[in-house]
Structure 1
Amino acid sequence: MAFLVYFLAAAATAAFAVYRYLVWQSQYWRRKGVPGPASRLFYGNVREINQFYEPMPMKIHEWTKEYGKVYGYKEGVRNVLVTSDLDMITEVFVKQFDNFYARRAPPLPQDLDNNPKVNLFESRGARWKRLRGLASPSFSINSLKKIRPIVEDSAIRMVDVMGKRHGAGESFDASRFFSEFTLDTICRLVLGQKESTIFDNPRIDVVQKIFLQSMDRPLFHFAVGVPGAGLSLRNIGKKLNMHTPNPDQNRIFMEIENAVRARVKERETSGAPDASADFIDLFLDSAAEFEYQNRGDFSTQASVAKALTVDEVIAQAVVFLLAGYDTTSNALSYTTWMLSRNPEVMKRCQEEIDEVCTDSSISYEDCQNLRYLDAVCRETLRFFPLAARAVARTCMKDTTVGGYEIDKDTIVMADTFAVHFNKDLWGEDVDEFKPERWLESDRRVAAINFLTFGAGPRLCVGMRLATLEEKIALAHMLRKFDVLADEQVSKLTLMGNLTTTPERVPIKINPRI
């Protein structure tokens, strides 16, 4: 009996201690005098930011309107400071990069220091600097000129199918076509796929599921609510051979790994090719076995090894496939929607394309000269920033930004929508779709004002490729068709957790006369 009493007393004491700890955690921002939404015990605000049909960037912007330019919220035990103050954003993403070189970790993070397969997006510190330096040449002007024919071939095939299926003028969902196009392109560039498989690619549904998975799930809530739980859960899943929740995803990752290792064996037998055929070759050109150091203090001035391991090549191929597919597909979807809603803009794009692109093939130089189309793409991405969730950094050492003391491990996030619709930055016509604003010489857009591709040294490395793909696809589409609005639909329904994706993009097309 006495033992039971002692046990119950100990259990009650432990429960009370856990309760007090959760209360103390939930009041982190209140103790610092920083406004923000009320935080629930254990979960914090994670359930509010993970609503599938109210994507996180929308919720963040809603809170900005309520709490001001700087406020805090909780993701379980993680502290997040949100800012739309441009001076603070510049400080975090540019001036104090050595203190904010890491991205926010996902709910189920990798061991970024010791895992041999860490990709460029998730990497940090010395490993990030090394991977970034080796990835950048893959997106140079010379590299883009080499891969342009592949991009154009996939674009032409997409436009041909679009015309055959929907050229009669009925409404259809354009987003599926753009998903097929970007996956086809990236499979040819990353996996060395020889022929186009548009509308015959078995990977499309699986890849879409990866990006459309809901994060409003108990597993993710538990992972952010308990310190260290995310990494432990990932390690347990790895030991049980459960790398991802979906076995189809595992098959795609294994396909990429097999493609890389097959190319390694091919090189061992025949030697490296004279000209790199795709991104795998480009990365394998830098592959070597070596001892690398990924820990310790980070400095942009420190020197790093100029080589990749084969495991890192596999990781880069995976992230390039996924990121290259989703972002460009969404950019095309949003831009086509805006063209359908602004017929005068569409006509001006067509006139420019007719004037600049005089050959059947659209060259790299043609794309560079499509200045108005480029302005349309940029203005669209001001309205619909692609990866606003990713415009965040983790504080790696205690510091002060804008008068706020930032503790180590705090996530600092920019409210991209607040910046993109700030009248002080963009003018009183900020709510108008006005591509001309990007061409006005007296109103040059500062880089930090446009956060679609991030900011600072971790600016999206694939930005040039994404822009090339988008302009080639749009140029070929607008050459052949007028893009018209579906009068039955007045606005897009946005969804998603990892990225913000349109549920459908209903448009009509008519052949140009």
Structure 2
Amino acid sequence: MNVLGFANLVLSYYLWTWTYWKRRGISGPIGFPILGSALEMLDSENPPYLQLKEWTKQYGKVYGITEGLSKTLIISDPDLVQEVFVKQYDNFFGRKLNPIQGDPEKDKRIHLFAAQGHRWKRLRTISSPTFSNNSLRKLKTTVEDSALELLRHIEQQTAGGKPIDLLTFYQEYTLDVIGRIAMGQTDSQMFKNPMLPFVRAIFGEPRKAVFLSGTVAPFTGPILRKVIFSLPQVFKNPAVHIIRQTAEAVENRIAQRMADEKAGIEPGEPQDFIDLFLDAKSDDVEIENNEDFTKAGIKVTRQLTTDEIVGQCFVFLVAGFDTTALSLSYSSFLLATHPEIQKKLQEEVDRECPDPEITFDQLSKLKYMEMVVKETLRLYPLGALANARRCMRATKIGNYEIEEGIDILCDTWTLHSDKNIWGENANDFVPERWESGDEHFFQKGGYIPFGLGPRQCIGMRLAYMEEKMLLSHILRRYTLETCSKTQIPLKLVGSRTTQPETVWVNLKPRDDN
């Protein structure tokens, strides 16, 4: 075959993929030849997850898009969500990943978010005790210390009634917490943390050329990944810097523990996630093959490798930084714009948390605060990127035949504002809708801020604890008020997560304190 013939063959294959959904009788945005809708899914000025909502209005609750050679079915039908994430989990246990993110089967530093099959099951089993109530209770003091440190900075910055951008303050807080409980950071580094610019950059403007290359030409993914990680000074990839810092922290801890053991020093209580993962053991996990990881077969190691510990700490650092900071930002905006709800929440905090220190058990009594947080996550869902699965075996959901390799992405923003689930006031901030609990919303497949099914976010309870702790301390001292700089409505940006551009508010000291 000559070069021209080969080029025609390749072009024909791309065009065949580009028209995949049309040939199957499924509507959706056609996008551009070869690229499909890849550019829209990388547009941080028009967040992709809000774009999905617009497409859903146009094409309905089930439609298809292509991104290069990737074929994705978008769903916001709660029955189909339940089918994919829960009932047919064994057919959808993989993630929707760009090839430059690594091979979930071979990457030595694979983490819980990207892993699939037996590797995921093993990592999840070993990691789960790290987020148990018993473990979180031990972390409470560290979380509260960071909250009080942030309050000191807030007090300094708001002197004289000056407004502040709470988003930047909350990012300082969440990075401080996760650095101390996951990365061996021994004290607060708030407003002087050298890691902050790198972590922020991960959620900034995406490197479109790199991601497009992995999408349009998947075979280039492993090559690009190797080059990027080999030449960090050239590509300035923030993830490389964070992974190297994480690896250094893990290696230093291993060396310290070996030295202590040689000196006859007994290991004490775990200091952070690194210690917890080094100590972690799981029940026997048996494997036959990665295609059906419900079968029993051979036993695997009961401990994490050093590379796997680096991977887990990296993903918890990145995920723990962004999502909790955003949830706090959205909660604060909604409280500032709904003073009657804020007053009710302050009354609960005053009643349940009367002492200077807030205990772990007192946090669990803040029922109205839990409703506020859940309602915030409904109106501003954070985990839309995570609400995607890859079909690992051909199957059928509803009336749709799904081939192996097809990605399923939930349009979470549409799902969370569906009037058939939430009623005519679906677009309003009404924490009281959660008074009867949330089980029925989960059962309907209509509420998935932390995902759904076996791959639901492992850090959910830690995020709740961080948010409730900080909001309690803030609301005991201040009332949040809008100011001339407050964006109403918020301008939303971002491609990996959807975040407010700013959250400027006034923090008015409470007269009743």
TM-score (norm 1): 0.93
1:355 corresponds to? 351
Change in 2 beyond 3 A, CA 1:445/1:168: farther
1:497 pairs with 2:495: yes
Q: Equivalent residues in 2 for 1:408-447 (5 A)?
A: 408-440=404-436, 444-447=440-443
Q: Which amino acid aligns with 2:9?
A: A
Change in 2 beyond 3 A, CA 1:255/1:163: same
1:6 corresponds to? none
CA contact (8 A) 1:437 1:443 kept: no
| Structure 1 residue 227: Cα displacement | 3.7
Greater shift, 335-344 or 160-169, is seen at 160-169
Q: Which amino acid aligns with 2:428?
A: E
Aligned equivalent of 2:277, options 243, 261, 283: 283
1:309 pairs with 2:300: no
CA contact (8 A) 1:438 1:444 kept: no
3-state SS of the aligned residue for 1:365? helix
- Give distance in 1, aligned partners of 2:234 and 2:252: 23
Change in 2 beyond 3 A, CA 1:495/1:295: farther
1:222 corresponds to? 213
| Structure 1 residue 323: Cα displacement | 0.8
- Give distance in 2, aligned partners of 1:160 and 1:411: 46
Greater shift, 496-505 or 228-237, is seen at 228-237
CA contact (8 A) 2:98 2:215 kept: no
- Give distance in 2, aligned partners of 1:384 and 1:18: 41
Gaps of 5+ in 1: 1-8
- Give distance in 2, aligned partners of 1:493 and 1:294: 49
- Give distance in 2, aligned partners of 1:270 and 1:37: 60
1:396 corresponds to? 392
Aligned equivalent of 1:142, options 118, 134, 137: 134
CA contact (8 A) 2:176 2:188 kept: yes
The RMSD of aligned alpha carbons is 2.2
1:125 pairs with 2:134: no
Greater shift, 266-275 or 116-125, is seen at 266-275
1:157 corresponds to? 149
Q: Equivalent residues in 2 for 1:44-193 (5 A)?
A: 44-193=36-185
Q: Which amino acid aligns with 1:111?
A: D
Question: Residues 162-215 of structure 1, C-alpha deviation per residue, up to 9 Å, x if partnerless?
Answer: 122114323221101100000001100011211111111111111101111324
Aligned equivalent of 1:274, options 268, 272, 283: 268
Gaps of 5+ in 2: none
- Number of equivalenced pairs: 502
Q: Which amino acid aligns with 1:205?
A: P
Change in 2 beyond 3 A, CA 1:59/1:509: same
CA contact (8 A) 1:244 1:250 kept: no
1:251 corresponds to? 241
Q: Equivalent residues in 2 for 1:303-382 (5 A)?
A: 305=300, 306-382=302-378
1:3 corresponds to? none
TM-score (norm 2): 0.93
- Give distance in 2, aligned partners of 1:291 and 1:314: 21
1:475 corresponds to? 472
- Give distance in 2, aligned partners of 1:292 and 1:65: 45
- Give distance in 2, aligned partners of 1:22 and 1:307: 43
3-state SS of the aligned residue for 1:43? coil
2:481 corresponds to? 484
Change in 2 beyond 3 A, CA 1:460/1:302: farther
CA contact (8 A) 2:202 2:238 kept: no
| Structure 1 residue 487: Cα displacement | 4.1
Shift >6 Å, 4+ stretches: 290-294
| Structure 1 residue 219: Cα displacement | 2.4
| Structure 1 residue 249: Cα displacement | 4.3
Change in 2 beyond 3 A, CA 1:58/1:302: farther
Change in 2 beyond 3 A, CA 1:266/1:370: same
CA contact (8 A) 2:140 2:360 kept: yes
Identity of aligned residues (%): 38
Q: Which amino acid aligns with 2:252?
A: A
CA contact (8 A) 1:395 1:412 kept: yes
Greater shift, 270-279 or 357-366, is seen at 270-279
Q: Which amino acid aligns with 1:254?
A: R
- Give distance in 1, aligned partners of 2:139 and 2:24: 52
Change in 2 beyond 3 A, CA 1:106/1:21: closer
2:462 corresponds to? 465
Change in 2 beyond 3 A, CA 1:77/1:441: closer
2:292 corresponds to? 298
1:265 corresponds to? 255
Change in 2 beyond 3 A, CA 1:459/1:243: farther
CA contact (8 A) 1:70 1:84 kept: yes
Change in 2 beyond 3 A, CA 1:441/1:395: closer
